[in-house]
Structure 1
């Protein structure tokens, strides 16, 4: 649909440009620096920190942009960022530390450690809680606010009156209640509050001097703050043209779910400590930590096509090539540990909605070139096979080549969404002619898809072919009378 590309174009050609730190001004930028500055400009990201780890060492550490927009304070390696739900990965490590000490087993029911649970909760295991497959009712309401105005006792009392959302193990559903329960268990079994247990057993051990628990209420030296492109107007979220302040609080009892603030360097030290046995003594413990949960139907579940699984506090990027354990937080921070490669990458930003998990693979590609999007990495197997033939024979032959591949292999199937996504990727890379051929192929293969015609209408309009664009928007609307995007563009193109 039209907004997918034009929004990106508007952002990219906007006037916002990240400031350079003093170190950046004196260092010769490499390809990664140039790539990140482009992304920051395109997405209006005020500040970003990067750490790259190879062979147990930090091989690249840099900070970009402005940590504090109000006072024009540049980001440095000392700037402190909220990592939001990456905190859950620390909770997962804490649970495995207790498991190594024999104080719990991850397949134990939570009722073994917590009293006065509803009957329907009592057989739910620690693992199911950690992996968001428990079915527990969420302690957050529909507006993502903690129940009962974040009063711990009242919220805990209220959530226990709510029914399970689904049969335990049937699906993945992101849930904060389980992590509140984990905090109670860590505190009970360790003999100290869970925040202190994590501070003592992870922050201190891994050499993380700038890492702490906190939120927007706390006065934190060198804080990079929090910004958002979205504000509420008339009760509805509206995307603005420049970042505005965001304010988030995490009550102490909620801080197993979110609430850690850190730096890219500290996070890199944490990854190194985890991989070399300082935090968990047994390699099997780390493997368990990073193994995605298997649902009752034998599949895995996660946030999206990229982070498509969830392990013990760790989202996973489960795929045949370059799989990763990939915690993400607040749509603003992410880290990927590439499990089969000697590579880990940390990206912290201060913009909610920056979603660095979407471009970490491209950073990795500067170390593993086959991972560049331009080389086809991340595409579905059928799309990659099609791409290889198109590069040999020409994109103008896309329909004939697709038919030939299908004739040779009856199991060959081009998924509509995969094709549409690849076409938009080509468009974002300014490969307009190639993108147009793929959009046309998608319409040919899926002639009853309103979205396929809508997307084709978009690129035709972009390339100035208004009359053909109008025809495609009309076809899309006939297939889906509720397509408001098509209605808007039909009006614009027809002058009515």
Structure 2
């Protein structure tokens, strides 16, 4: 399919190449191992395209991984040196770089994940895995230097900056340029909508958002090291505050509150709380957080409770293949092969690349 895909497709997430982080068991099987770029690309290079290149937007880390490998091929230099020589050194970004685990960095933040009412260290991931789709460390101050350079021609000519921020294709509730979501934020009072360049991102234990308001040269940056925080809600509130508009505080996590109730008052009380508050607008229901809670219960050998929680996630997010996959795993631990097959089949309908589901169904054909 390489003859069908252009750099433009990779930059705009319109290539159709499946996102390798969405592969079943990817984080469990691959992320601890170091890879060279060409070696890692073999994991997805023969994948069937999800759609004809250029026809739609589908976020794919695979595309940006390929862009890094292309940079290395064209320049003959490692990706991180290309960044260093062309961006970081010219801008004086001395606290930014490609993150190598073995390198000692002063004041480097560790990544954590919420677990019940407390926290745990985030799972290790070798930074050769995110590669050109992530793998960088930085500071708010350094990102400000980069942001301000984008208003000059120090990094890019006007011609290429225009490409960077052109809304090429609809992407969720906004449009997408080259590595930027381009959106219009209504600010009320009859004024024209506010143009915003924005992106968020995440890796084990970390979650980030950067938002640029070019007409005002404002930039909002949030770097969070507890993973899956409500940064987008916070970003919207800050934008509202900057323009003297009403704002809402981020909503409490539905999953975390459910866990707290279940931990302190018992699982039945937790279910009662869930049923009483499932339609409440005071809480944010997050698929990932509910899933984590289910696996926490599985690890505690509370299989029946885990099945109930995974079923709640299936009911809340019926279009997610991963919710069905998790429920199938819970039924396996419960010894119910028939129900495991039922939910693996549902998962496969939504994600034909779910190899775990294929293997289990094949092994348990009646």
- The alignment's TM-score, normalised by the length of structure 1, stands at 0.45
Quote the residue 1:181 is aligned against: 66
Displacement after TM superposition at 1:249 (Å): 2.6
CA gap 1:211/1:457 in 2 versus in 1, 3 angstroms: closer
Task: Map residues 51-130 of structure 1 onto 2, 5 A cutoff.
Answer: 120-130=1-11
CA drift at 1:262: 0.7
Pick from 137, 143, 167 the counterpart of residue 25 of structure 2: 143
Q: Which runs of structure 1 show a deviation greater than 6 angstroms over 4 or more consecutive aligned residues? A: 425-428, 453-457
Could you tell me whether the CA contact under 8 Å between 1:226 and 1:246 is conserved in 2?
yes
How far 1:199 sits from its partner (Å)?
Answer: 0.9
Tell me, yes or no, if the aligned pair for 2:183 and 2:195 is still in contact at 8 Å. yes
1:203 to 85, 88, 91: 88
Equivalent of residue 170 in structure 1, options 55, 76, 85: 55
Give, in whole Å, the separation in 1 of the partners of 2:46 and 2:250: 50
Alignment of 1:43-54 (within 5 A): none
Find 1:315's aligned residue among 174, 178, 181.
181
Q: Are 1:301 and 2:171 matched, yes or no?
A: yes
The superposition leaves residues 15-69 of structure 1 with CA deviations (integer Å, 9 ceiling, x where unpaired) of: xxxxxxxxxxxxxxxxxxxxxxxxxxxxxxxxxxxxxxxxxxxxxxxxxxxxxxx
Q: Equivalents in 2 of 1:158, 1:276: separation in Å?
A: 39
Per the alignment, in what secondary structure is the counterpart of residue 271 of structure 1? helix
Match of 1:353 in 2: 228
Deviations 1:445-465 (A, max 9, x none): xxxxxxxx98796489xxxxx
Q: Aligned with 1:159: secondary structure?
A: coil
1:264 to 135, 140, 157: 140
CA distance in 1, matches of 2:25, 2:213: 34
Structure 2 partner of 1:214: 99
Q: How has the CA–CA distance of structure 1 residues 190 and 318 changed in structure 2, closer, same or farther, with 3 Å as cutoff? A: farther
Distance 1:285 1:264 in 2: 25
Residue 144 (structure 1) shift: 4.2
Deviation at 1:285, TM superposition (A): 1.8
CA contact (8 A) 2:195 2:213 kept: yes
Find the aligned partners of 1:201 and 1:427 in 2 and give their Cα distance.
Answer: 41
Deviations 1:354-412 (A, max 9, x none): 24232123223333213x326xxxxxxxxxxxxxxxxxxxxxxxxxxxxxxxxxxxxxx
The TM-score, its normalising length taken from structure 2, stands at: 0.60
Q: Does the Cα contact within 8 Å between 1:183 and 1:253 map onto a contact in 2?
A: no
Kindly state the Cα deviation for residue 211 of structure 1 after the two structures are TM-superposed.
0.9
Distance 2:251 2:171 in 1: 30
Look up the match of 2:158: 283
Show the counterpart of 1:227: 112
CA distance in structure 2 between the partners assigned to 1:335 and 1:368 by the alignment? 18
2:363 aligned partner: none
Instruction: Give the drift of 1:165.
Output: 1.4
The answer as to 2:237 corresponding to 1:367 is: no
Aligned residues: 252
Whether the aligned pair in 1 keeps the contact of 2:233 and 2:250 (CA below 8 Å) is no
Q: Structure 1 pair 206/426, CA: closer, same or farther in 2 (3 Å)?
A: closer
Contact 2:171 2:181 in 1 (8 A): no
Displacement of 1:171 in angstroms is 2.3
Pairwise CA distance, 1:156: 2.4
Deviations 1:113-132 (A, max 9, x none): xxxxxxx2312111111111
Unaligned segments of structure 2, at least 5 residues: 187-192, 253-274, 283-310, 316-366
Counterpart of 1:329 (choices 201, 208, 211) is 201
The 3-state SS of whatever aligns with 1:249 is: coil
Please report how far the alpha carbon of residue 158 of structure 1 lies from its aligned counterpart in structure 2 after TM superposition: 3.7
1:157 Cα deviation after fit:
2.6
The CA distance in 2 between the partners of 1:455 and 1:133, in whole Å, is: 39
Question: Quick check: 1:183–1:256 contact (8 Å CA) kept in 2?
Answer: yes
List gaps (5 residues or longer) in structure 1: 1-119, 231-239, 295-299, 375-424, 429-452, 461-482, 488-496
Alignment partner, residue 358 of structure 2? none
Question: Residue 367 and residue 137 in structure 1: after superposition, are their counterparts in 2 closer, same or farther (change >3 A)?
Answer: closer
Q: 1:176 to 1:127 in 2, by over 3 A?
A: same
How many Å separate the matches in 1 of 2:250 and 2:83? 44
Contact 2:164–2:178 (CA under 8 A) maintained in structure 1: yes
Q: CA deviation at 1:208?
A: 0.9
The match for 2:44 among 152, 159, 164 is 159
Distance 1:457 1:131, change over 3 A: closer
